[in-house]
Amino acid sequence: MSTNSAVPERSLSRRIGVFDAVSIGLGSMIGAGIFIALAPAAEAAGSGTGLLVGLAVAALVAYCNATSSARLAARYPVSGGTYIYGRERLGEFWGYLAGWGFVVGKIASCSAMALTVGFYAWPQHAHAVAAGAVVALTVVNYFGVQKSAWATRAIVTVVLAVLAAVGVATITSDAAQADRVLGGTDGSVSGVLQAAGLLFFAFAGYARIATLGEEVRDPAKTIPRAIPIALGITLFVYAAVAVAALSVLGSIGLGASEAPLTDAVVAAGASGLEPVVQIGAVVAALGSMLALLLGVSRTTFAMAKDRHLPHGLAAVHPKFKVPHRAELAVGVVVATLAATTDVRQVIGFSSFAVLVYYLIANAAAWTLTETEGRPVRIIPIAGAAGCVVLAFSLPASSVLAGTVVLAFGALAYAAHNILARRLGH
């Protein structure tokens, strides 16, 4: 554990209250994930009941992870997230592994968001559209244009309106059947847990609330209040949308869909809403991808500065003042994945890597002392256990790919340390 981890002086004004913190959390969570993750989760669960239970399990694990992260963010109010927390509380390797897991997991998330754009905008050419969207947003980021707070709220407002329209149109349609909601093939515990692991992808933005410690009024009270409210609202919205889609498609139809909410409104006889859903999905995915590309490129930049990634990626553009090489490198990798991979595979891989990231966050939170604001002991224990169970309940291909990529990162870390010692650094 580092001994020189005093919190640096900060000058940010504390203006954010509970309402604003909840709004930011909703803007980070209610995005493209719900437009794409329901289908593979329904296929894994095998029944509507299993899908809804899996959704609740994913939300519970997300709550534990967010609470642990919030306490760590209050202790270490600097950028970097668990890359910093793991390094300070558990040792440099664990911080590195968290950072590596975040980078590769969120790169996969970016490609999933890009494919969401493709499947909803032009399904016949989904991969080409996805790659083009990545290129366009990489150019936007390169010139230093960032998503502002008002844009975040505008996006979440559009998405909520679209989801509400989907819910009303499907539930009130003649095609809706109550027995489809809970029915389906015989599910299993492993299927429910796999569904929860895949649906965790749709909750992944909750960490944004945990990083607000410097900017909120009375953070010790505001953040613990905002987290369950935001997660509760998100869970309600996701459950309502899942019930609506199941009522017209059933678990089998939902599991087979590539654009589930579009298929739901068409099955409900509300084909006039199809372009509305398409626009909502594209807006949500582009908004999520813009924020993700920014976050991944900044973590890549931070790791490159520490020489855990090629040091050349730590360059800052002299005019635009952005980590342009990191942004371009991330953009190339994401565009390649978006052009070549299956969306269900990248969702599973992303969930695995990000669950490892939060496993380290929970382990770091466990080491906090009472005077450092540690959470109730059961929170990091349940969070860590949940991360492990969900990660290894994912499809075998996702677990294998995630394990290989994380192992490669660990080997690269070891090789870097050996080389540094030989060079006397």
342 pLDDT band, cuts 50/70/90, is very high
Round the average pLDDT of the chain to a whole number and report it.
89
pLDDT exceeds 50 at position 2: no
pLDDT exceeds 60 at position 157: yes
Lowest model confidence (mean pLDDT) among 46-55, 112-121, 174-183, 363-372: 174-183
- Could you tell me what percent of the chain has a pLDDT over 70? 91
pLDDT at residue 298, as a whole number: 84
Q: How far apart are CA 74 and CA 219, in angstroms?
A: 8
DSSP of 236-284: HHHHHHHHHHHHHHHHHHHHT-SSHHHHHHHHTT-GGGHHHHHHHHHHH
The residue that leads in pLDDT, 11 or 208, is: 208
- Of 348, 302, 297, 299, the residue nearest 108 (C-alpha): 348
The residue that leads in pLDDT, 207 or 44, is: 44
Q: Is 67 exposed, middle or buried (0-12, 13-18, 19+ CB in 10 A)?
A: buried
pLDDT exceeds 80 at position 34: yes
Mean pLDDT of 315-325: 90
Q: How far apart are CA 356 and CA 38, in angstroms?
A: 22
Mean pLDDT of 242-259: 95
Question: What would you report as the CA-atom Rg of the chain, rounded to the nearest whole angstrom?
Answer: 21
Class of domain 18-423: mainly alpha
pLDDT exceeds 50 at position 8: no
pLDDT in tens, 181-196: 987 776 799 999 999 9
Q: Which residues pair with 184 in a beta bridge?
A: 47
pLDDT in tens, 117-155: 999 999 999 999 999 999 999 998 888 655 555 777 788
- Of 141, 87, 157, the residue nearest 364 (C-alpha): 87
Lowest model confidence (mean pLDDT) among 5-9, 203-207, 406-410: 5-9
Q: How far apart are CA 155 and CA 85, in angstroms?
A: 31
Lowest model confidence (mean pLDDT) among 127-131, 174-178, 184-188, 399-403: 184-188
pLDDT at residue 148, as a whole number: 54
Residue partners of 318: CB distance under 8 A and separation at least 6: none
Lowest model confidence (mean pLDDT) among 111-115, 159-163, 201-205: 201-205
- Structure tokens, 346: 């990248």
9 pLDDT band, cuts 50/70/90, is very low
Mean pLDDT of 357-371: 96
108 pLDDT band, cuts 50/70/90, is very high
What is the CB neighbour count within 10 angstroms for residue 69? Answer: 29
pLDDT at residue 28, as a whole number: 76
Q: How far apart are CA 393 and CA 193, in angstroms?
A: 6
pLDDT at residue 85, as a whole number: 93
Q: The tokens 């900044």 sit on which residue?
A: 298
- Structure tokens, 351: 């969930």
Q: Is 164 exposed, middle or buried (0-12, 13-18, 19+ CB in 10 A)?
A: middle
Ordered by start, the domain boundaries in the chain are: 18-423
Q: 228, 379 in Cβ contact below 8 A?
A: no
307 pLDDT band, cuts 50/70/90, is confident
43 pLDDT band, cuts 50/70/90, is very high
pLDDT at residue 4, as a whole number: 45
214 pLDDT band, cuts 50/70/90, is low
Q: How far apart are CA 200 and CA 391, in angstroms?
A: 10
pLDDT at residue 373, as a whole number: 87
11 pLDDT band, cuts 50/70/90, is very low
pLDDT at residue 313, as a whole number: 95
Q: Which residues pair with 347 in a beta bridge?
A: none
pLDDT at residue 81, as a whole number: 83
212 pLDDT band, cuts 50/70/90, is low
